[in-house]
Structure 1
Amino acid sequence: MTTAVWSSAAWLAEATGWLDNQLADAGRVRTGPVSQPHLRPWGTVLTAPTDRGQVWLKAPGPETAFEVPLYGLLARVAPDSVLAPIAADVDHGRLLLPDGGAPLGDGLAAEDLPDALAAVVPQYAELQRTLAAHVGDLLTFGLADMRPAALPERLDEAVEAIGRYLGRHASDDDHTALRRVAAARPTVAEWCDRLTGGVATASLDHNDLHVWNVLTTPSGRRRFYDWGDAVVAHPFASMLVTLGFLRSELHLTDDDPRLLRVRDAYLAGFAELGSRAELVTELELACRVGSIARSLVWLRAVRAERFEHAGTFARAPLETLAALLTESPFDLG
């Protein structure tokens, strides 16, 4: 699919017809017009009011079509933590979702971020523990394999693909950064070997977990959504974005008690697997190599457009990959 297809009258009419049919099957009625609030090279979203609340039709692009079957699995095995689709069409790659409430970040003051995240990450850790038994399904759906054993090759892929994407736009500093990362491959392979032999087994990594990707109802029920960046990885790699987001928003050092409170609240969900020191070491290592997966997700997003049209995000894949070698394991680049 392309933005031209998703914005065409023919596609919109067909998608609206599907939406109405699925609503009818679910005993709902659309009460207003369908609008298209999001149209990006990697997917589009339609929304409409119904007699039982707002609904959302999500049509991911080919590279993130795994979201459609993924939502079905999540709804079956972790129904209290995700939105259950009203309908899903795997063949055509689209979902119909109910409204899940406001993002957790809505109206949240910066100083309240640590408490909000510390309250939600234990629920996310529980979801990951549940999903660890379904890694085979996740890979079958098409989620990228970013488990530690695969990451050295993924590093090679990222270096080559980012260099190709930058092309004539690459500066001397860009070339230097790519060479440094490529030269670090033996060290990265050693880190990955350590993680492969670690205490936590692979699971689902949301790969973009922050307060804007958690929905909360007026009653306080929290659910995770927007799984388009998800990969199969070491579970602790999820904290790269969570802790990196908190670190960046509040300008924290890695030893700040506010950041450590969120980290420890998450690790409490894995407490029986090892000592606190073992878990902390493994989390920091998983977050560090997690920048490889993040860089490839960024690349997937920006290369849908020409470099000149990517704006401030054009160098995000390189900056994220280069963070692999920075002092902090929670540096987002």
Structure 2
Amino acid sequence: MTGAPEGWVGGWIDVGLQLPSASERWRSAGYRDELRAWVARETGEPTSLEPVKVRAWASVWRAVTPGGVHYAKQNCATQPFEAALLAELVRLVPQHVVPLTAVDLDRGLLLTPDQGPVLGEGDLDTWRRVVAAGAALQRALVPHVDGLVAAGVSRLLPADAEEYVAQRLDGFAALPAGDRRALAPDRLAALRAHLPVVRRWAEQVAALGLPATLVHNDLHGNNVFDREDGLRFFDFGDALVMEPLAVLAIPLEMLAARLGAGPDDPRLWRVAEAALEVWSDRAPLAELRAALPAALQLGRLGRTETWLRCTPPMNDEELDSFAGAGAASLAALLDAPVLGHLPG
């Protein structure tokens, strides 16, 4: 697997890192030729090879080949691990993830066969299926965390949370004047004052005793296929090794926005409890519910790290849209959790 560039601090990306544009390379004729040659070696000469998505952080192409329709993906240099991670997941938990046709670990390329339409967001029962199946995947991976880290996935555990936030704040403070990625000075000061609160959240979540495992970090129905043998997950480019309840941060925030739901909405609790029940043999359900608001806050750190990893290869146009996403994700620690309430 292609190694991460210099600019990492304690396994986490440096806030100030800047790299050449990834999307401009992916849009070039040279990259198309390179990708076509690789697909041809793996499946036969494609009759069609067209981009489906080209973002600052990843490129996905649809290839029509003698072996059927496939999708090729490559992530940016600061999220290079997905190919190695998916290869490991296919080996360990093939029933939970999309199959792999081919992988190039040196270049971080992966090729998967067409799985049909995605599950989609659907109704509450669909969301419950997604989070419950996601938690089952997490349970299955608990014994294999060291292998996931060896594949390139970073750890961000409750014990790391306070140090992580402090490092991010130092990184934002060191950005030069006028940097579009900057965190506003008042937010910076407020977050520094909030570090003892982050420590208390981490202590509460750690006290549950749940094991570290894979957190997808973008869990929703558009990253899932509904196959005859169950749900199969894909798009692991944002993944981290965290405590397991952090995985609920993204689906609950998405669902709350869609429903216009507040922190006491029983519909959100119904979805959350489909995942909590998977862990109820490791901690009482009442304790899981009580710690969930703090876990959701710590889950926002996962999204912060994703945005900070995706920002270095952005060009000017992409920075116009996304430069402040990492700072905004970190500043969300000052907001109330999407579900439940924190102690006063």
TM-score norm. by structure 2 comes to 0.85
1:142 matched to 2:152? The reply is: yes
**What's 1:222 paired with?**
231
Q: Which has the higher helix share?
A: 1
Query: Secondary structure at 1:179's aligned position in 2?
Result: helix
Query: Greater relative contact order (Cα 8 A, min sep 6): structure 1 or 2?
Result: 2
Aligned-partner Cα distance in 1 for 2:308–2:198: 20
Alignment partner for residue 168 of structure 2, among 158, 161, 164?
158
Question: Would the aligned equivalents of 1:285 and 1:329 in 2 still touch at CA under 8 Å?
Answer: no
**What's 2:252 paired with?**
243
Aligned-partner Cα distance in 2 for 1:88–1:173: 38
Question: Would the aligned equivalents of 2:74 and 2:110 in 1 still touch at CA under 8 Å?
Answer: yes
Query: Secondary structure at 1:71's aligned position in 2?
Result: helix
State the shift of 1:162 in Å: 3.7
1:188 matched to 2:208? The reply is: no
Question: Would the aligned equivalents of 2:226 and 2:232 in 1 still touch at CA under 8 Å?
Answer: yes
1:258 matched to 2:267? The reply is: yes
**What's 1:99 paired with?**
114
CA RMSD of superposed structures (Å): 2.5
How many percent identity over aligned positions?
31
Q: Output one character per residue of 1:194-226: Cα deviation in whole Å (capped at 9) or x when no partner.
A: 323323111000011112212234x58421111
Question: Would the aligned equivalents of 1:241 and 1:330 in 2 still touch at CA under 8 Å?
Answer: no
**What's 2:17 paired with?**
none
State the shift of 1:115 in Å: 1.6
Alignment partner for residue 177 of structure 1, among 187, 192, 202?
187
Aligned-partner Cα distance in 2 for 1:94–1:36: 14
Question: Would the aligned equivalents of 2:264 and 2:339 in 1 still touch at CA under 8 Å?
Answer: no
Question: Would the aligned equivalents of 1:204 and 1:233 in 2 still touch at CA under 8 Å?
Answer: yes
Moved more, 237-246 or 274-283: 274-283
Aligned-partner Cα distance in 2 for 1:95–1:309: 24
Q: Output one character per residue of 1:158-210: Cα deviation in whole Å (capped at 9) or x when no partner.
A: 22334455842679992111211111112212322332332311100001111
Aligned-partner Cα distance in 2 for 1:203–1:76: 16
Aligned-partner Cα distance in 1 for 2:75–2:308: 16
Aligned-partner Cα distance in 2 for 1:329–1:220: 32
Letter in 1 for 2:29: A
1:13 matched to 2:33? The reply is: yes
**What's 1:68 paired with?**
83
What 5-or-longer segments of structure 2 have no aligned partner? Answer: 1-19
Q: Output one character per residue of 1:21-75: Cα deviation in whole Å (capped at 9) or x when no partner.
A: 1114xxxx74x21112222332322211234532011111222111111101111
Question: Would the aligned equivalents of 1:288 and 1:330 in 2 still touch at CA under 8 Å?
Answer: no
Aligned-partner Cα distance in 2 for 1:144–1:171: 22
Q: 1:312 to 1:43 in 2, by over 3 A?
A: closer
**What's 2:211 paired with?**
201
Aligned-partner Cα distance in 2 for 1:84–1:181: 42
Letter in 1 for 2:42: Q
Aligned-partner Cα distance in 2 for 1:169–1:6: 25
State the shift of 1:319 in Å: 2.1
Q: 1:101 to 1:191 in 2, by over 3 A?
A: same
Aligned-partner Cα distance in 1 for 2:181–2:71: 42
Aligned-partner Cα distance in 2 for 1:311–1:170: 8
1:318 matched to 2:333? The reply is: no
Alignment partner for residue 115 of structure 1, among 111, 125, 128?
125
Query: Secondary structure at 2:65's aligned position in 1?
Result: coil
Question: Would the aligned equivalents of 2:191 and 2:331 in 1 still touch at CA under 8 Å?
Answer: yes
Q: 1:167 to 1:308 in 2, by over 3 A?
A: farther
What 5-or-longer segments of structure 1 have no aligned partner? Answer: none
1:23 matched to 2:43? The reply is: yes
Q: 1:6 to 1:269 in 2, by over 3 A?
A: same
1:168 matched to 2:181? The reply is: no
1:3 matched to 2:18? The reply is: no
Number of residue pairs aligned between Structure 1 and Structure 2: 320
Aligned-partner Cα distance in 2 for 1:163–1:62: 24
Alignment partner for residue 68 of structure 2, among 49, 53, 63?
53
Moved more, 171-180 or 184-193: 171-180
1:328 matched to 2:337? The reply is: yes
Question: Would the aligned equivalents of 2:225 and 2:233 in 1 still touch at CA under 8 Å?
Answer: yes
Aligned-partner Cα distance in 2 for 1:197–1:264: 19
Q: 1:113 to 1:317 in 2, by over 3 A?
A: farther
Letter in 2 for 1:159: L
Query: Secondary structure at 2:71's aligned position in 1?
Result: strand
Aligned-partner Cα distance in 1 for 2:131–2:176: 36
Letter in 2 for 1:56: Y
Query: Secondary structure at 1:223's aligned position in 2?
Result: strand
Following superposition of structure 1 onto structure 2, how do residues 33-48 of structure 1 map, counting pairs within 5 Å? 33-48=48-63
State the shift of 1:252 in Å: 0.5
